[in-house]
Copies of this chain bind each other. A is one copy, B any other.
Amino acid sequence: MSQPNLAVRNNFRGFPRIERWLLQQVFKAIGPAPIRLAFKDGEEMSPPGVSPRATILIHDRQTLIGLMLDPEMAFGEAYSDGRIEVEGNLAEALEVVYKSWPGGADTGWYQRLTSTLLDRRQTNSLDGSRNNIHRHYDLGNDFYRLWLDEQLVYTCAYFPTPSTTLEAAQEAKLDYVCRKLQLKPGERVVEAGCGWGALALHMARHYGVSVKAFNISHEQISYARRRAAESGLSDKVEFIEDDWRNISGHFDAFASVGMLEHVGVNNFAHLGEVIHSSIGDSGRGLIHFIGKSHKGVFSRWIRKRIFPGAYAPTLNEAMNILEPHDYAVLDVENLRPHYARTLEHWLERFDKSSQQVAAMYDPWFERAWRLYLAGSIAAFRAGTLQLFQISFAGQARQPIPWTRAPLYTAAKDSKWMHATS
């Protein structure tokens, strides 16, 4: 694309032109986003004819050079270090940048090279996964308790209306997953990647099924076991600290909510085999994951600092799990707006606890996590990321649901359902 014609105001008359040129190069890289880039000593720039939605204040020349060469990584590092500040709404500033960015954040040769190197370091082998998961999910339950809902559900919620509370929306999501799976009392369910156990416990409590739930996060599994014991559900729900690759046994249904992002696309065929050995040709399943609408690497900064080993697959890639075993896709739903809303709740709670977070860890950690949450809001709003729920059934499964209407009209638990009258 051609270089945008930028409105420049030089408050500092003797200012060297290099900063002005650098600011132009940053806009050339990220596109004509309606933001103001301001260098600390006075130079500032924004695309002409737009009203800037936020100001990004850059503290030093080195940071500015970094932004020009590798905007996404440099922004993440500098924001976390405090070398960049954002005046205005952080999520909104990032959203407008994502929307203007020609080709997206990770398309240059340097980006692809460093992405590959990152993948090598963060491989999702048995050992690699344990390390990757430990680095994120074992940060301490007290930390997550500050900003998640009371059940500690760390995946996209389902809001029957945008004003539904986070607590109700997470409960609604758990139930929505159970309904999509059409669980019946006495059935056996295997869950791959169970977080703090909320879905497994919901299934056992409200649908009378028995669940084996796998997770390699030690902190999460310990917490989930305590909850099962406190709820008197230990005989119905078994929480197993092990990798999805070690799932064994026979089940009626397979569920995985928010794990696929950590599996790695090279392991999808293996995951398909594990699913098939668990539920065979007569079972059904649901996979819920952050995806993309075109193939591309996952944010390098997020992988470096927040989610090692993460990857958001396209539906094309996800089909490589199911098609080798002739699993029929029954339903795919894109819940992208719901993840943006979920993250808005999380960020709001996070911001209220920001001093506590900084005290628990350090100010760098607090800024990095705020950026991760705000950046995720922006990505789901802009459509850079999608949230897919895929329901599927084996070829011997008969019958399949007649319509989807009962998901919306035959409320089992009316407190969270859509208004139907």
Contact = CB atoms under 8 A, between A and B. Distances in A.
Interface of A: 99, 159-162, 293-295, 314-316, 319-320, 322-334, 336-337, 382-383, 386, 388, 395-397, 399-400, 402-405, 407-409, 418-421
B329 A331 contact: no
**9 smallest beta-carbon distances between A and B, as pairs:** A332-B332, A316-B319, A405-B418, A293-B328, A408-B408, A405-B408, A294-B326, A330-B334, A383-B395
A386 B399 CA distance: 13
A324 B103 CA distance: 12
Given A337-B402, A409-B420, A328 B295 contact: no
8 contacts: A99-B396, A159-B403, A294-B325, A328-B336, A331-B332, A336-B400, A405-B408, A408-B408
Contacts of A407: 404, 408
B314 A323 contact: yes
A147 to B, nearest CB: 24
* Residue picked from A162, A316, A324, A403, most chain B C-beta under 10 Å: A403
Contact of A294 (B161, B314, B324, B402): B324
A334 B328 contact: yes
A272 B326 CA distance: 26
A399 B408 CA distance: 21
Contacts of A316: 316, 319-320, 323
A295 to B, nearest CB: 7
B328 A331 contact: no
A185 B154 CA distance: 41
Contacts of A323: 293-295, 314-316
A402 B162 contact: yes
B409 A160 contact: no
A319 B160 CA distance: 29
Nearest to A160: B403
A99 B395 CA distance: 9
Contact of A331 (B333, B382, B405, B418): B333
B328 A329 contact: no
Given A295-B323, A331-B332, A337 B399 contact: yes
Nearest to A162: B402
Given A395-B293, A409-B409, A420 B420 contact: yes
B160 A405 contact: yes
Contacts of A334: 328-331, 400
* Residue picked from A316, A382, A400, most chain B C-beta under 10 Å: A316
Contacts of A331: 332-334
Given A333-B331, A334-B329, A408-B409, A403 B383 contact: no
Contacts of A326: 293-294, 383
A369 B257 CA distance: 46
Contacts of A319: 314-316, 319
Contacts of A328: 293, 334, 336, 383, 386
Contacts of A324: 294
Contacts of A403: 159-160, 408, 418
A399 B294 CA distance: 19
A388 B383 CA distance: 23
